[in-house]
Amino acid sequence: MCDLMAALELDQPKVSRHLAELRKCNILQDERRGKWVYYQLHKQLPDWAKAVISQTAECNSGYFAASLANLNAFKQQASSC
């Protein structure tokens, strides 16, 4: 979640709320490993939903580039949540 907060420049409650909604809709699945939670697209996500996500990513490359830059800057600062 820390990576998402840094990349998207959003606070923890907002990120948690969005992740919970995506899990509830079976878009994401999570895996808990100790104190960490790892997220990925649900393995049984329909092809049409994967296509929508891919097209959205392709049409918003600037947003993703800025988010990745935010994440890289966060990691270089050696910050942690």
Q: What is the mean pLDDT of the chain?
A: 94
pTM of this prediction exceeds 0.85: no
pLDDT band per the 50, 70, 90 thresholds, residue 80: low
Give domain 2-76's CATH number out of 1.20.1640, 1.10.10, 1.10.3470, 3.40.1090: 1.10.10
Q: What proportion of the chain, given as a percentage, has pLDDT over 90?
A: 89
The full DSSP string for 39-76 is EEE-TT--HHHHHHHHHHHHHTHHHHHHHHHHHHHHHH
pLDDT for the residue numbered 1: 82
